[in-house]
Amino acid sequence: MFKIKRVYDTPAKDDGFRVLVDRVWPRGLSKESTRIDLWMREIAPSTGLRKWFGHDPSKWSVFKARYEKELDSKPALIEELLKLEKMQGVVTLVYAARDTGHNNAVVLKEYLEKRMKGGS
């Protein structure tokens, strides 16, 4: 099972294996306080895409499509996350964005769930 959670929220036991999926380390937090098991910055949107989006909800559908296309070009990283989920049971994709509904972790979780169901 994949879950998503803001890095600023308190880590919990039921988070399972915590993977930070942002390209940039979250401001004001130490590695110890975040309880991050793996920082997978390469799975994050490209710097250009991230800056273009700027967490503007009006750009959400285009951002989502562009990010999914970037994810298509990273099969080894996707496979690594899918294997982690099989081994750990629960993998929480951790992100820093304030907007809980419009961020890369939301897209990544949906993308991974489609792969688990055999979709493309």
Q: Report the pLDDT value the prediction gives residue 119, as an integer from 0 to 100.
A: 61
- Is the confidence at residue 117, as pLDDT, over 90? no
Does residue 91 sit within a domain?
yes
Q: Report the pLDDT value the prediction gives residue 120, as an integer from 0 to 100.
A: 54
Does residue 55 sit within a domain?
yes
Query: Tokens standing for 51?
Result: 């800056």
pTM, rounded to two decimals: 0.92
How many domains does the chain fold into?
A: 1
Does residue 120 sit within a domain?
no
- Is the confidence at residue 6, as pLDDT, over 60? yes
CB-CB contact of 45 with 67 (8 Å): yes
Does residue 88 sit within a domain?
yes
Which residues constitute the domain of residue 69?
A: 2-115
Does residue 15 sit within a domain?
yes
Does residue 30 sit within a domain?
yes
Alpha helices (H) in the chain, listed in sequence order: 31-34, 47-53, 60-72, 75-88, 104-116
The chain-wide mean pLDDT, for the chain, equals 94
CB-CB contact of 68 with 106 (8 Å): no
Q: Report the pLDDT value the prediction gives residue 8, as an integer from 0 to 100.
A: 95
Cα–Cα distances (Å) from 96 to 2, 24, 83, 104, in that order, read 17, 9, 24, 10
